[in-house]
Amino acid sequence: MPKYKLLALDMDGTLLNERSEISEGNAEWIRRAREAGVTVCFSTGRGFVSALPYAEQLNLDSPMITVNGGEIWSKPHVLYKRTELSPYYVRRLHALAKEHPEVWYWAYTTLGIYNKERWFEPEDDYEAHHWLKFGYYTEDDRARELILAEAQSWGALEISNSSPWNLELNPEGVSKASALRELCEWMGIGMEDVVAAGDSLNDIAAIREAGLGVAMGNAQTAVKQAADVITLTNDEDGVAEIIKRFVL
């Protein structure tokens, strides 16, 4: 009997290797975990459309957490809960992005993604969309720090990252951890029954709150410090190693 009932996996930098693939080793051990009765759940910053092909590849008919907890799916295509980002803040975040011309930015809606090269028309009709998450990417540390400081000063957003060079912004209180808590309640289990694995700041809260929090070998330093254990990297079948050592 497995000790844990739910395995919550980040995707990029965790389940997926650097070629954005699920390795044969990871796929095999996920299959074994499912056969043993463990629920395997994606817990990702990706949107549903981007995550779905990987769920289909693994034949997962289990819950999914997408856009950093902005959406919780009881199974693929069956939405359990969605928390939208206010158009007021999307407007402010977009204006902040335009103050830094070197910074790439994007925004998730319930219907798709807009970005620096493909924004909606008319540009100021923010209310016409159902927003989920806003993001910035830049390798210019100073620009990123200025954006972070400004967004933090509003006191209304959950700010994390999925790489050292980006910022991801959700409504305050919305995170992978908050989504996992709700998912556990729906499933009738406790957070102590969860293994949460990831590599970036958007994984930290879930890693801290789970029964077992696992940092990937390639994780950011802060994530490793928050974790109970550290596994192999995403290019070394680190997820398979988690299942072998701790789940089964």
CB 62 within 8 A of CB 27: no
Tokens of 187: 């499933």
pLDDT at residue 187, as a whole number: 97
CATH label, 87-171, candidates 3.40.50.150, 3.40.50.300, 3.40.50.80, 3.30.1240.10: 3.30.1240.10
pLDDT at residue 72, as a whole number: 98
Tell how far CA 145 is from the center of its chain. Answer: 21
Tokens of 93: 């975040």
Rounded Cα gap, residues 13 and 184, in angstroms: 24
Rounded Cα gap, residues 34 and 57, in angstroms: 14
Span 66-72, mean pLDDT? 98
pLDDT at residue 1, as a whole number: 79
Instruction: Indicate if the pLDDT at residue 225 is higher than 90.
Output: yes
Q: How many CA atoms lie within 13 A of 142 on its CB side?
A: 2
Given 10, 193, 199, 237, which residue is catalytic? 10
CATH 3.40.50.1000 residue ranges for the chain: 6-82+175-247
154 phi and psi angles, rounded to 5 deg: -75, -25
Rounded Cα gap, residues 85 and 115, in angstroms: 16
Q: How many CA atoms lie within 13 A of 84 on its CB side?
A: 13
Which residue pairs from 76-79 have beta carbons closer than 8 angstroms and sit at least 24 positions apart in sequence? Answer: 76/52
Residues with Cβ within 8 Å of residue 45, at least 6 apart in sequence: 10, 11, 12, 66, 67, 68, 133, 162, 168, 202
pLDDT in tens, 148-160: 999 999 999 999 9
Residue with tokens 């070998």: 217
Is residue 125 among the annotated active site residues?
A: no
Rounded Cα gap, residues 3 and 202, in angstroms: 25
pLDDT at residue 227, as a whole number: 98
Amino acid at 227: A
Rounded Cα gap, residues 77 and 221, in angstroms: 35
Q: Quote the CATH superfamily of domain 6-82+175-247.
A: HAD superfamily/HAD-like (3.40.50.1000)
pLDDT at residue 97, as a whole number: 98
Greatest CA separation for the chain? 56
For residue 48, the cross-strand partners are: none
CATH 3.30.1240.10 residue ranges for the chain: 87-171
pLDDT at residue 121, as a whole number: 87
Instruction: Indicate if the pLDDT at residue 71 is higher than 90.
Output: yes
For residue 213, the cross-strand partners are: 196
pLDDT in tens, 110-148: 999 999 999 998 878 999 999 999 999 999 999 999 999
Residues with Cβ within 8 Å of residue 33, at least 6 apart in sequence: 2, 7, 40, 243, 247, 248
